[in-house]
Structure 1
Amino acid sequence: MNESGTSRLKIGGPIHPEPLDKDRAAEWLRDLAERATAEDLPALRHFLEAGDEADRARLSAVLDLSSFLNSLILIHPDWLERLFQEDAGARITAVVEELRQLPGTESSETRLMAQLRRLRNEASLLIALRDLFGAADARRTTADLSDLAEAAVGAALRFCLLDLDRTGKIRLPDRDRPEEGAGLFVLAMGKLGGRELNYSSDIDIICFFDSRAPAILDPGEAVDIYSRLVRRLVRMIGERTADGYVFRTDLRLRPDPGAMPLAIPVSTALSYYESSGRNWERTAFVKARTIAGDQAAAANFFSEITPFIWRKYLDFAAISDIKAMKERIDRHRGFEGLAVAGHNVKLGRGGIREIEFFVQTQQIIAGGRSPRLRVRSTEDALHELVEGGWIAKETASELIVAYWFLRRVEHAVQMVADEQTHSLPEDEEGLLRIAKLLGFKDFSAFSAELMRHMEVVDQRFGELFAGDRGPLPEHSRIGRLFGGDEDSRLVDYLTEIGFQRPDDIARVIRAWGVGRYRATRSDAARTQLSRVLPLLLRTFGRARDPDAALAAFDAFLERLPSGLQFFALIAANPKLLELLALVITSAPRLAGTIVARPHVFDALIDPAFYRETPTRALLAERLEAFLHDAEDYEDTLARLRIFASEQQFLVGARLLSGTMQGEGAGAAFSNIADLVIASAFEAVEAMFIERHGRVSGGRMVLLGMGRLGSRELTAGSDVDLMLLYDHDDGAEQSDGDKSLPTSVYYMRLTQRLIAALSSPMGEGVLYEVDFRLRPSGNKGPLATHIDSFRSYQKDQAWTWERMALTRSRPVAGDPGFIDEVKSTIRDILGEPRDESSIRNDIAAMRARIERDKPARGALDLKLRAGGLIDLEFIAQWAILEGRVSLDFIGCPTVEVIAVAERAGVIPSLGLGLSLEMAMQAFTRIIQLMRLGPQGCWRVGELPPGLADRIAETLDLPSQDQIETTTDEIAGSVRQAFLSLLPFPEKPSAD
């Protein structure tokens, strides 16, 4: 009753469907009133006589519009009677909970099947009424339907397991919790897996079992026993009886359904997916969820199958498979354009499946790199795609609204007669029926709204597949020429777009077409290349020297081990071609990385490429996720190599594209090294301890030296390291099964670390490692005891060794020992020394380097007079003499120089130039040059694109001014160096 005393159904909602025939609807209400009287349902009878008029009207509309709901209401009016006391949403929850308590102790199969059907039908009625009246949105409707199915499957499975236990086929560890320890589990796939089940849906399930489970008495018989159980479960759920059915069940998504049993051993399934699993099966597993059975066994299965679902690399070839799957559906079903009458809102163009493909394609492509994309719900996945920058917020919003609107339409179509159909009626009355069920006044309003949403989906789906619904510009034209016989037409086209030697270029292209290279040998790879070829040719045609640019790409292609994924990636992301062209023509180090490990190009697809700075925290988060699934020591090292390659490549590409400057690159390269080396160190130490035990009180610190220590690494830099250790007094050997003397223990651990970092693996090397900055250099032990280190620095170290310590920094090790080592280094560098002696030693060293290793050209910025060595030596001198605080040990050279200049330690250079600005300019140049070919010491030797990028970073109008500018800067730096550290008349003999 409401406040005025008028009775209302506790359903709620703002939508008021209207009947097709008001007189017929009124008759249905009279029939319902007779049923209420016959069954003595006073609240319902009162409602039908004098209840809320609007509520009665919309109930009459449902009776008129849906034959299925009509029959449920008239056969079970008591279900409505309950709604005057209990809210429909609460009752749905109660029904699901009742299912979760089944089977009871006295249940028989017949009784349980009747209970399941009665509860399903009641919930189906209430779910439909809440949906049609707007009391529940489509999200809630699909979730309620999914909960209903899950609870029903669980009840049937528990009954079957208990019956097997009763007959002695299995022995359950706990009959009160029959699923635990049974080994058998049920995976929901598709919409049930994503908790998005539709109103009259089949449920797609796969049943696996762990043959080692405690309930299984004879593993040899388990397949037969559990397969019979699954067949029984399907019958209990899906068989149509006098009470109807619960859910139709489909088992065809299991591996090789024509050959595999209904219950599949986990070991067999994993073997199948590893050797024969296809992309559509990976896509199906995106939504897979355990809905019944042994949860522990299911968790172990998902842990094992994760690498199959979520690849380490971006998988753009999957786009082709998923697109082909959609095209096969369209051809088989005869779907072409957009329509309303007869249109399939699930599989048709602009329909539900296209939204799901839009989402799942990108999840499959990037979910291996971005764990946050591994969500089952379509809406949740769209939100995560926005958060990760993969799609625009507007796109997600449009698709989410369209998705739930189309799901409501799908529900309405199915609610009419509880039929598993997704197609709208073709007749006028049928279409008007659907429109009115959804609350539209007339068909035209419904049609306009439906077409608007389908057009949005159609557009977004087409954009994802790079315009597949219309030919790419020039695609058909070049497709005919690629590998064909129309030589003159291809030559004419190449001339038209800017190539100077079109005949030569045509021969190169023909070599691709006939599969001369490994990368173009397969039909699939050539198909993808053909697709991207027009755009590729136009891109290289815009280069300064198109012929040389395409020749460089040809050389790159010749070395590429496989082309399918690479061409698919370019086809799906045509904007990458401009950067790819720059990489191939200007940065052989980056191009070489792509050739050696083509998947590193994946990093450029990440939407964050152009907008985020690779901070240490961000890199650490990504590394942790990347190492999460590592299986063992070797896999950890392989993953570290992949991670380092990708992240270094990403920094280099940012440098080349102009989204990062040199000083930022130095910090980024160093952050990568810090994290990777620390992880490798941790893995090596753990493995070493497992084999050789620990040294009592043992502690270690790994020091980064040189450019690593000062956070100024460049692309391809070696890393300078030093390992210091300490242990309890009297500790003579480790305590493991294969114990080692203490000094040997740390020496071998260091050797193992060097091997972990620098040994070639399938994924390359991490870093070339140099330990020569340790005490006594190559003559000393690889690992140094902290006391020996102190003693050496006090009595034997040369000035250059203390200079090296100014660039030292702990990168891994025991936290307490790190503080001790840092304090020790501060003490060493803080000891008072003769200033003139320090200056003379530094100046003599610089003079000796200049004599023995003269600069090879204007751009040999490290060695040239007034170059990087001059600047680094000034910074190290400032720390050694106490002109700059010891707090700046291990800081970038530019920071030390800036502090020294502000303190007045360094003289002004004049002309508006400072040593800080000089260091910044040289850093930017050398970071870019490290990406280019080796042995280029003059601008004329550089690739044009790289020279242009250097000019850009120096704010110069053209590359012609680069050498003049660097000469001017170097001259000023040399003048400052000599004023602070004048060369001796003769270099020291030291």
Structure 2
Amino acid sequence: MQEIDGRLADSAAGRIFALDEAAAREAAGELAEAVESHGLPAVLADAEASLTAFLAAAFALSPFLHDTFRSRPDLLCGIDQPIGPQIEAEIEKARTAWIAEGGSQGDGEIMTRLRQSKQRVAFLTALADLGGIFKAEVTTDLLSRFAAAAVAATLDHLLVSAAGEGKIRLLSSEDPSENSGVVVLGMGKLGANELNYSSDIDIVVFFEPEAGIIIDPDDARELFPRLMRRLVRILQERTGDGYVFRTDLRLRPDPGSTPLAIPVEAALIYYESRGQNWERAAFIKARPIAGDIAAGEAFLSELAPFIFRKYLDYAAIADIHSIKRQIHAHKGFGLVAVHGHNVKLGRGGIREIEFFAQTQQLIAGGRMPQLRCRRTVDALDALCEARWVDRQTADELKAAYWFLRNVEHRIQMVRDEQSHILPEDDAELLRIARMSGFQTTDDFAKALVANLKTVEKRYARLFERELTLSGETGNLVFTGEDDDPGTLETLSKLGFERPADIARIIRTWHYGRYRATQSTKARQRLTEIMPDLLAAFGASRRADEALLRFDRFLSGLPAGIQLFSLLKSNPNLLLLFVEIMSAAPRLAEIIAARAHIVDGMLDPALLTEIPTRDYLAGRLEAFMAGAEIYEERLDRLRIFTAEQRFLIGIRLLTGATGGFAAGRALTVLATLAIEEALAGVLSEIEQSHGKLEGQRVAVLAMGKLGSAELTAGSDVDVIVLYDCDDPLGSSDGPKSLDAPRYFGRVTQRLVAALSAPTAEGVLYEVDMRLRPSGNAGPLATRLAAFEKYQLNDAWTWEHMALSRAHPLCGDASLMKDAAAVIDAVLVKPRDRGTLARDIAEMRARIERDKPAKSIWDLKLIAGGLVDIEFIAQFCHLGSEQPREKAGGGEAMSTDDVLVRFGPEFMNAGDLEACRKALALYTDIAQLTRACLNTGFKPDTAPAGLLDRLCKLSDCPDIDAMEALITDTADEVRAIFKKLLPLA
């Protein structure tokens, strides 16, 4: 924030222009007289001095400032010194105004002290603002801090007074509010440190009846409202010294029927059960300013789930926007103007900037805590950092915000009125222009209109997309029983082959025959999006089929208003939604079963960022925050994992990510989920059974989990390893277990945590058959036994499986030891001929026992994924070399293995052919498994998926793609035979 220690004498010259030179000369004369009569700085006697000229111009422009000077010339005593420290001193004086100066203090004394401080703060702040010493940002901050200090001092005074009457006991004589349970929240601009020059202040007051200061809790419900009535009177009653702040408590719950102060519990119950969307928006800026600050912070923390919901709420955004429309409709602020324009509520005004930020904070603040900023400009910066808006938009709106706030301040400085409306009169408008540093009304109007139009344009793009299809393309009428001929013609033009059937389906929606369309509001929202929805479906290939899939989705949706509101507010999301319906039945089913999963599609980073470990870990931490109970944490883990798997599927569908990246992202997601589940399981086990001396537990990833190549439908192959000081010892808990049973119980609980079905579904199906001795062996394997088995007893196929393994999570030292064991096994000397024969025989056995069903069975076809994986594993084991990365603790994909070990066994052409085939197969497999629940068959696959696959492989049609796969597989099989001659 800007420094505040500048002097008016240094920079005020030329900042403003006097409205009337004669009035300015008169004011200069008054200043000169006051130098002698009131001991003001001598420079003010010099009419030519820049400081004198500035003050004279300011007094000529602002009757309020001129009158204030006439009534209290002493306010200028330090005007030649830095103004900032003087205001800081007044803020401190206000904060301590509750302290009686000898004996007790009545309301009258604190009223006088606060008013005198307010007068000095308002006067000096206005001059510093007009003189360019303070930017609007500093002005709003200082005014807000003074207001908070005044409220806090008044409350402390009232608590001292109540203690004197025997109503309460103070826990601290130096800080009456400490642990008082009285919560005073500054709302709106006060909460955000953005007060206007002549602002009212909005506060809400809550109290805790059981707080330690209250002698009789039954008195609390009468005492605190009575104290608040005194607080309002102390702050806003006009006396000979003026007033402090007009004070408004109407933002409390149900203000028409509730007292001025409300118990905390009653407030929380109200917001959780009956809170309105406009109240959510209001509480974005709420800040504890007085009373028990810690209790205020705790209250806001409890209220956070009401303000910032975990799940996005686009119906709420429609409500917020309707407030703006009502302002325009009832107050006539529909056009950008200059004369008579309301710079706060009018088109392009301050409120539109605030709504622009607040609505997006409501949308995403539940999932992105960094968006929970109180100040509007901070929120704009945070939205930019989170990529909800671009930098140009944020900078334009910030610049417009401060320009309009400056204009607003000048409107209010004229007569200290809480007004936001520019004058209709030309002469008065010129006054505002010159206070704003413009010599002419035309120059001011040009700058004002440019800022208003900038805001209007940005706001309109966010909220007011009013394009309708009916007027441009034709009728879209779905009322009555009979088809409207114009509507059928429109549907045909849009691309639907059976318009009568489509019209019948849509009438079903509008008649409310599905739960999702039963409410009037839901049908209204659906009607609003219908033109865009049908245009998007019509543009997809096989439009009828895609819309029928949407109909099936809609028929199972428990409620529709949220979804329809969301689609209306996000045109790009609507197009993506249609793409899912036309190409990805599996993703469509997930949306139908978990409507909230769509929320994640609104993240601006969705299609531009690969979900790395840091990306996913940060979101997981935020999503798990507040969940303490084991079962709740597992449910949240299921919700999060399902959502992120879905979003990775979306990235695949749209081409934002490829197969390799998706496999790694799905593996990172599984790693985090298993890590979280293991931590929870160990904590639960320790509560019941205690721990063993020196115990260590780790999970070893095998199969596609081990090689970072998971797909959307993959099981997870794992081995649980353990170690402890005494393998024959027992745990130290109330229900003691010996080591094998203890770690077996850990494994059972981990498998259950991952695979047991709950209301939120299953995390992962778990496969543990790759542990030593398979299903016949113990569930958990001691590290020493694992090492002995792998070095002495394991078969070739088990070493092939081990080549994909890596330590996934658990005790760091055990993971390191396990990685060392894996490396020791993989570098064992092997006879390459024997190794090749073993692998070739295994491939022949698979081919015989489990032949490929079609050319699209990319895993099992001759020359498919299994061939490439076996080639890579042969190269790895045959090389007798350690992994490239020290310790072997990192996952190596099949492609990584080919790059690392392939050159020793293949020429460059064969190696490149294998890698290209692997990339093609992986892209196809990842996409089809993300989009389909069953195997891919071209004759039954959705048209959109066929199009996406052809685009992916750069083929004109599916037949050409089949030919490409056949040629690729033949080439891979030839390489396989060269390396691993089949028996």
Calculate the TM-score normalised by the size of structure 1: 0.94
Is the Cα contact below 8 Å between 2:694 and 2:724 reproduced in 1? yes
Q: Which structure 2 residues correspond to residues 833-848 of structure 1 after superposition, within 5 A? A: 833-848=830-845
- 1:897 is aligned to 2:898: yes
Question: Any residues of structure 2 matched to 1:820-831 within 5 Å, and which?
Answer: 820-831=817-828
Cα offset, 1:278, TM superposition: 1.5
Question: How far does the alpha carbon of each residue in 1:926-948 deviate from its partner, in whole angstroms, 9 at most, with x for none?
Answer: 11121233444443343232222
Alpha-carbon RMSD across the aligned residues, in angstroms, is 2.2
1:60 paired to 2:60:
no
Asked whether 1:718 is paired with 2:719, we answer: no
Candidates 53, 74, 96, aligned match of 2:91: 96
User: Are the equivalent residues in 1 in contact too, given 2:393–2:458 (CA < 8 A)?
Assistant: yes
Distance in 2 (CA, whole Å) between partners of 1:887 and 1:49 is 83
Q: Is the 8 A contact 1:939 1:963 kept in 2?
A: no
Q: Which moved more, 1:250-259 or 1:485-494?
A: 485-494
Looking at structure 2, the residues matched to 59 and 31 of structure 1 have their Cα atoms a distance apart, in angstroms, of 11
**Residues 483, 705 of structure 1: alpha-carbon distance in 2 compared, 3 angstrom cutoff:** farther
Asked whether the equivalents of residues 18 and 57 of structure 1 are also in contact (C-alpha less than 8 Å), the reply is no
Superposition map of 1:398-477 within 5 A: 398-468=396-466, 471-474=467-470
Distance 2:647 2:932 in 1: 18
Q: What runs of 5+ residues in structure 1 fail to find an aligned partner?
A: 1-7, 985-990
Give how far 1:10 is off: 4.4
Check whether the contact 1:11–1:129 (CA below 8 A) recurs between aligned residues.
no
Q: Give the corresponding residue for 2:247.
A: 249
CA deviations 1:277-307 (Å, max 9, x no partner) are 1111111111111111212212221221111
Partner of 2:160: 162
Shift of 1:268: 1.6
Q: Provide the rounded CA distance (Å) in 2 between the counterparts of 1:52 and 1:813.
A: 78
Contact persistence 2:470–2:476 (CA under 8 A)? no
Is the aligned partner of 1:72 residue 2:68?
Answer: yes
- State the one-letter code of the partner of 2:43: F
Structure 1 residues 275 and 132: CA distance shift in structure 2, 3 A: same
Conservation of the 8 A alpha-carbon contact between 1:734 and 1:745: yes
Instruction: Tell me, in whole angstroms, the C-alpha distance in 2 between the residues paired with 1:579 and 1:791.
Output: 53
- Distance apart, 1:541 and its partner CA: 1.1
Partner of 1:282: 280
The answer as to whether partners of 2:16 and 2:434 remain within 8 angstroms in 1 is yes
* CA distance 1:303–1:473, shift in 2 (3 Å): same
The 3 A distance-change label for structure 1 pair 14 and 25 is closer
Could you tell me whether the CA contact under 8 Å between 1:92 and 1:126 is conserved in 2? yes
CA deviation digits over 1:364-405, x for unaligned, max 9?
Answer: 111112111111111111111112211122211221111111
Q: Using a 3 Å threshold, how does the CA distance of structure 1 residues 883 and 48 change in structure 2: closer, same or farther? A: closer
User: Is the contact made by 1:11 and 1:83 (CA closer than 8 Å) also made in structure 2?
Assistant: no
Tell me which moved more, 751-760 or 733-742: 733-742
Matched, 1:481 2:480: no
66-75 or 932-941: which moved more?
A: 932-941
Deviating more after overlay: 104-113 vs 302-311: 104-113
Partner of 1:150: 148
C-alpha separation in 2, matches of 1:125 and 1:262: 31
Q: Percent identity?
A: 48
Q: Is the 8 A contact 1:466 1:571 kept in 2?
A: no
Counterpart for residue 592 of structure 1 = 589
Deviates more, 1:17-26 or 1:543-552: 17-26
Preserved contact between residue 344 and residue 350 of structure 2 (Cα < 8 Å): yes
Partners in 2 of 1:145 and 1:33 — Cα distance? 30
User: What secondary structure, in the 3-state scheme, does the structure 1 residue paired with 2:77 have?
Assistant: helix
What corresponds to 1:987 in structure 2? none
Task: Determine helix, strand or coil for the equivalent of 2:508.
Answer: helix
Partner of 1:708: 705
Q: 2:190 aligns with which of 189, 192, 199?
A: 192
SS of 1:940's partner is coil
Letter in 2 for 1:942: A
Letter in 2 for 1:400: K
Contact 2:340 2:421 in 1 (8 A): yes
- Equivalence for 2:648: 651
Residue 628 (structure 1) shift:
2.7
Q: CA deviation at 1:855?
A: 0.6
Distance 1:673-1:51 versus aligned 2 partners, 3 A rule: same
After TM superposition, list the pairs within 5 Å mapping 1:910-925 onto structure 2: 914-925=913-924
Whole-angstrom distance in 2 between the partners of 1:309 and 1:477: 41
State the 1:479 CA deviation.
8.7
Any idea what the Cα deviations from partners look like across 1:295-353, whole Å, max 9, x if unmatched? Answer: 22122212211111111122222220111111222223232222222222111121111
How has the CA–CA distance of structure 1 residues 459 and 486 changed in structure 2, closer, same or farther, with 3 Å as cutoff?
Answer: farther
Question: Superposed, which structure 2 residues align to 1:338-353 within 5 Å?
Answer: 338-353=336-351
Structure 1 pair 9–391 and aligned structure 2 pair: CA distance change class (3 A): closer
Q: Does 1:114 align with 2:109?
A: no
Distance of aligned partners of 1:540 and 1:654 in 2 relative to their CA distance in 1, 3 Å threshold = same
Residue aligning to 1:569: 566
Give the match for residue 776 of structure 2.
779
Are positions 1:551 and 2:548 aligned together? yes
Q: CA offset at residue 34 of structure 1?
A: 4.1
TM-score (norm 2): 0.95
Distance 1:387 1:475 in 2: 39
Q: Give the aligned partner of residue 906 of structure 1.
A: 906
What does 1:286-435 correspond to in 2, within 5 Å?
A: 286-435=284-433
Q: Given that residues 637 and 680 in structure 1 are in contact (C-alpha distance below 8 angstroms), is that contact kept between their aligned partners in structure 2?
A: yes
State the AA in 2 paired with 1:720.
Answer: D
State the SS of the aligned residue for 1:939: coil
Q: Which residues of structure 2 form unaligned runs of 5+?
A: 1-6
Does residue 729 of structure 2 align to residue 732 of structure 1? yes
Q: Do the aligned residues in 1 keep the contact of 2:828 with 2:880 (CA within 8 Å)?
A: no
Contact 2:130 2:435 in 1 (8 A): yes
Give the distance between the partners of 1:225 and 1:743, measured in 2 at CA: 65
Alpha-carbon separation, structure 1, partners of 2:665 and 2:8: 64
Paired amino acid for 1:932: C
Is the alpha carbon distance of 1:804 and 1:219 closer, same or farther for their aligned partners in structure 2, counting shifts above 3 Å?
A: farther
Q: Could you say what secondary structure the match of 1:290 adopts?
A: strand
Shift >6 Å, 4+ stretches? 475-480
Q: Which amino acid aligns with 2:899?
A: A
Structure 1 contact 479–530 (Cα < 8 Å) conserved: no
1:947 pairs with 2:942: no
1:465–1:937 distance in 2 versus 1, CA, 3 Å: closer
Say if 2:519 is the partner of 1:522.
yes
8 Å CA contact 2:44–2:51 kept in 1: the answer is: no
Is residue 498 of structure 1 aligned with residue 498 of structure 2?
A: no
| Partner Cα separation in structure 2 for residue 158 and residue 683 of structure 1 | 46
The letter for the 1-side match of 2:969 is: A
Q: Is the 8 A contact 1:389 1:608 kept in 2?
A: yes
- How far the C-alpha of 1:699 sits from its partner, in A, is 0.6
User: What code does the residue aligned with 2:180 have?
Assistant: A
The CA distance in 2 between the partners of 1:946 and 1:476, in whole Å, is: 31
Query: Aligned residue for 2:3?
Result: none
Q: How does 1:514-913 map to 2 (within 5 A)?
A: 514-729=511-726, 732-882=729-879, 885-887=882-884, 890-903=891-904, 905-906=905-906
| Kept after mapping to 2: 8 A contact 1:669/1:715 | yes
Alpha-carbon offset, residue 835 of structure 1: 4.2
Aligned partner letter, 1:89 = G
Given that 2:12 and 2:51 are in contact with CA atoms closer than 8 Å, whether structure 1 keeps it comes out as no
In the aligned structure 2, how far is the partner of 1:155 from the partner of 1:394?
Answer: 42
1:258 and 1:509 map into 2 onto residues whose CA distance is 44
Classify the secondary structure of the residue corresponding to 2:172.
coil
CA distance in 2, matches of 1:934, 1:275: 39
CA distance in 2, matches of 1:29, 1:362: 50
How far the C-alpha of 1:884 sits from its partner, in A, is 5.1
Q: For residue 4 of structure 2, what is the aligned residue in structure 1?
A: none
Contact 1:171–1:215 (Cα < 8 Å) also in 2? yes
Corresponding residue SS for 1:864:
coil
Instruction: Answer yes or no: is the 8 Å Cα contact 1:10–1:88 preserved in 2.
Output: no
Q: Counterpart in 2 of 1:3?
A: none
Matches within 5 A, 1:920-935: 920-935=919-934
SS at match of 2:733: coil
| Residue type of the alignment partner of 2:319 | D
